[in-house]
Structure 1
Amino acid sequence: MQSSEARRSRKALAALVGFVARAPAECQAVELASRTGQLCLLRENGTERKTNIRIFRVALAQGLILAEKQADGLLSCSATTEGRSALKRWLADPDSAFQDQHRTLTTRPDPDHGHVSVNLAESPLAALARIKGRGGDLFLEPSQVEAGERLRSDFTRGQMQPSLGQSWEPVRAGRQPGSAGGAAELTDAAMAARERVDTALAQVGPELSGVLVDVCCFLKGLSEVERERQWPARSAKLMLRTALAALARHYAVPRRNSTRQPAPPPHAP
């Protein structure tokens, strides 16, 4: 019985450390003051996770996480070096249950690869997909979420990374000739993925493609996007929705064409 309890505690610790290791999260200091109950951790992109206060205290005591009080009274929580090392050891455990504690996998259809697995815990679109407007309609349509994840999948397969010290933009999709990891070293699948990304972003246009790359590919929070691009507050969410709508239309065109029935042969005279 004790071994089972220790196992559950270790899983809960792995889930907590894994959540704040991917991106810092905030919580209410007053919640931590309670001896029992749940603590709600919230990331900048809206992703949240609830954890047992006792587990949170254990993680603090063992130096796995760091909680720093901010000017607004909230606690900013992040993983320490010791926490990341412990998480790496837990993930190396052959029992996959430890890995499942810090990821939420789902399968989405992908016209280019059949089906792909998506970690909802890492995707900013997962949080936005749950938001509803005043009329009760979803803020993002399922086709828009699917389009964003499809772009992210191709971006990852194409090994597209930003240049150091610079923001990635569509025109910077390929590396410079002769550089490490250049086109000559890419597989055919990676090159095809890059071409799909370039085509999709070109169809969306330069005004909207940047926010797609920031949120869908680099997993940036909306506030971070607004700060880096010097946009007004709450504008990134609307820009992203517009960009995803254009991206979904682009991806829908080949599917409509592929299902079109061939024209009947002409009648013989």
Structure 2
Amino acid sequence: MPAWVPEGALHYLAHTELGQPMRELARSAGCHASTIMRQIRRIETRRDDPLVDAALRHLGKFRAAKHCSKEDPPMVQDTPCKVPDEATLEHEALRILPRLCETGAVLAVAADMEKAVVVRDTASGGSTRTAVVDTAVAQAMALKDWIAPTNSGRIIRYFITTAGRNALQRLIGRDRAGKRADRGFAEAQTAFDGPGADWEDGSDPACETRRQRMRYSVAESPLVALSRRRDRSGKPFLTDAQVHAGERLREDFELAQMGSRITQNWQGFLTGGTQAGPGAGAGVPDHARAAQSRVTAALSHLGPGLSDVALRCCCYLEGLETTEKRLGWSARSGKIVLRIALMRLRRHYDETIGPGGPMIG
């Protein structure tokens, strides 16, 4: 069985699928039989959740397919097993769980659909899609109690649980530790580790150039928080189209980081430049190279200043107050510049990709 399957689910499948007695399972696990009984009862009560029920059914088929022999009927041998492995689940969790941490975000799952979508409420009262995930991965998340349903019916909405938030923190810490081990740097717990995570800041003339670190918030992006604000007339400060443009830039930026560690050097845009760093695109998959090209074109279209605030706030998820201090701007001026950048970014996407575009999932 995959390593991500909870112990309680393993005991439940062993008892219901293989008929193993609870006392035998307790001796193997080194615990009391009542503990096994509570685990089995808890899993049984959770089968009302369609994702949990489907996950258990697929795990049962997975076990049967793994232990089938040539003498078994062809139907048993050819049973499709929609069970993700440990690496796939962790990779998708790092992509989906941060989206579910955003305010008003839920995972919507429809019956008999192979994909689930993450949607988030917008300031205008509508909703926008921010991510798409395979239903098999959503089933694994539900079985691990990372997500929980809020309703019943044909379309069920799931929110992230406390266990899901804790799991996300562990996965982020493990991912950062692995990247730093590969790069040979000592581990730091709170810094964002990615291309452009370090940049030179010469704002203090009395001191030598210092190394700064980007911060990464898993709660929500500054763009989402700013979209909930309203102006004096009561209208949202950012329109849905502007938020969508910023999310499109962020999605391209995340896609550009996948594949190889030798990726685009984004520091040039933080200092007003527009040139790619050394080794940009070398050894990068086609989808990541295409995403790099789209990000580079978008930031080049914005130009110095606007590209800086868009990269910091939309991609690196740096707060507006921090951006204003690092750029030497006056207080509360960053949101105005960011809105101008998003207006130009939206126009750029409309001219190059078309209104709406194929991005976001």
Q: What TM-score comes out, normalization by structure 2 length?
A: 0.37
Q: What TM-score comes out, normalization by structure 1 length?
A: 0.49
Determine which structure has more spread, i.e. the larger CA radius of gyration. 2
- Larger RCO (CA under 8 A, 6+ residues apart): 1
